[in-house]
Amino acid sequence: MKPARQLRVSLWPVEAMEKEAIAFLRLHEPEEGYFLGFSGGKDSIVTEHLCRLAGVQYQVGYSATGIDPPEVVQFIRRFYPDIPFYKPKLSMWRGIKKKHPPTVVRRWCCDTLKKEPTKHVGFPRIMGLRKEESGRRAGRPRVEWHYYFKQWLYKPIFHWTEWHIWEFIEKHGLEVPGLYDEGFHRLGCVVCPFFFRKNQGELRIHMNRWPQMYRVFEKVVTEWFDNRGKEDDRFANAREYLEAYYRGFEK
Poorest-confidence range of 90-99, 137-146, 193-202?
A: 193-202
Query: Helix (H, G, I), strand (E, B), or coil: what is residue 52?
Result: helix
In this prediction, residue 54 carries a pLDDT of 98
Q: What is the mean pLDDT of residues 122-126?
A: 92
- Which helix (H) or strand (E) covers residue 246, if one does? helix 238-247
- Say if CB 163 and CB 191 are below 8 A apart: no
Provide the residue type at 137 as one letter: R
> Dihedral (C-alpha) 208, 73, 64, 58: value to the nearest 10 degrees?
-140
Query: Helix (H, G, I), strand (E, B), or coil: what is residue 240?
Result: helix
In this prediction, residue 6 carries a pLDDT of 47
Residue 1 has pLDDT above 60, yes or no: no
Q: What is the mean pLDDT of residues 200-210?
A: 87
Reported confidence tier of residue 197, pLDDT bands at 50, 70, 90: low
- Say if CB 34 and CB 124 are below 8 A apart: yes
Reported confidence tier of residue 233, pLDDT bands at 50, 70, 90: confident
Reported confidence tier of residue 137, pLDDT bands at 50, 70, 90: confident
Query: Helix (H, G, I), strand (E, B), or coil: what is residue 57?
Result: coil
What is the biggest distance separating any 2 CA atoms in the chain, rounded to whole angstroms?
Answer: 59
Supply the pTM of this predicted model.
Answer: 0.89
Counting other chains too, the contacts that 183-190 makes at CB distance below 8 Å and 24 or more residues apart are: 186/41, 187/39, 187/40, 187/41, 187/42, 187/68, 187/69, 187/72, 188/39, 188/41, 188/68, 189/65, 189/67, 189/68, 189/109, 189/113, 190/67, 190/68, 190/69, 190/214
Reported confidence tier of residue 25, pLDDT bands at 50, 70, 90: very high
Q: What is the mean pLDDT of residues 110-124?
A: 91
- Say if CB 61 and CB 87 are below 8 A apart: no
Reported confidence tier of residue 251, pLDDT bands at 50, 70, 90: low
The upper half-sphere exposure of residue 123, i.e. CA atoms within 13 Å in the direction of its Cβ, equals 20
Residue 8 has pLDDT above 70, yes or no: no
- Say if CB 74 and CB 62 are below 8 A apart: no
Task: Find, among 113, 116, 122, 118, the residue nearest to 91 by Cα.
Answer: 113
Predicted confidence (pLDDT) per residue in 35-72, tens digit: 999 999 999 999 999 999 999 999 999 999 999 999 99
Residue 112 has pLDDT above 80, yes or no: yes
Q: What is the mean pLDDT of residues 88-109?
A: 91
Task: Find, among 130, 106, 110, the residue nearest to 63 by Cα.
Answer: 110
